[in-house]
Structure 1
């Protein structure tokens, strides 16, 4: 009869798997997916190829899993933000504060910097389905805000695109040694969305 693997061994395996994935995400972000090899990761981690392949079957599997972890984290953050907010506007703000914090992690950056043609059609479809669900959940929150009066009447689809477009770009320029942390950046962005830039609206505006 096969011996049952101990909990401690399973924990160590998962820790090693995450160590490999984090190194992969960081390297993909710095060098680009196509410019990174399994040999690069082995050198960074001080591991042999057989050891790396024990945890993942190939480089695409590494990329997919890094992006999947970020997507799962985002779904969890959205659920928590929706529970914590008192109205649609608060929930929307909570969501994107959490979003900015996840998008500036190694896994979050990997998700944003990954292109559809970096993966097989099957993997790409699975990943993009998760991102589309995120967009749909944000639209629902915007619609709730319109209904409860905390968000003015608008096109939820356009607002969702605008928010994701601006917040996704943070992953391209954010630096850990910068002057502001992700929460501060997110709150500054949301102040712009809430109050705009103009001091007074033009007289001919509708």
Structure 2
């Protein structure tokens, strides 16, 4: 079987279609000639036999070309189906890779997407501190506990902490910092564990109560 890619070449389909049309027109012309001969009662057996042979040969050539055309069109359809399936599979694969990559980050502790989703259910408090100063003071408060900051980003204004005493080692909490002025920062505490949110936010908010913004 020919390669599917070859079926896409218009130069293969158009010449066959043109040949089919030309042969069909010649057959019609010969049939008209034969009718004229019959009307004039011309009884030249050899001449009539020659015309019949020509018509028969052209009919066979036409059928052969039509079969070739059908074969090429079938290859074209097969190629289009293959291309569609290939592109669809590629799109699904890339989308799956993005999802797996994010899940992999969560497993290896380099993603906070699951913590960001919990921000709306967390606790928040405003403090009269700049973001950098607030970030540093929270780090100091965490350092006084047995917990571990396993991920942080000052530019993106968050830190992720785990290994709190009284909790499973891998139970995580996210601490997010949002600036609302040169000396005003909102701290948000979020976790998939509501109890941990309460404990950590109480520890941080109590440690920074001197800077609590009214």
Give the alignment's TM-score, normalised by structure 2. Answer: 0.23
By percentage of residues, which structure has more strand?
2
- Which TM-score applies when normalising by structure 1? 0.24
Which protein has the larger Cα radius of gyration, Structure 1 or Structure 2? Answer: 2
Identify which of structures 1 and 2 has the higher relative contact order when contacts are C-alpha pairs closer than 8 Å and 6+ apart. Answer: 1
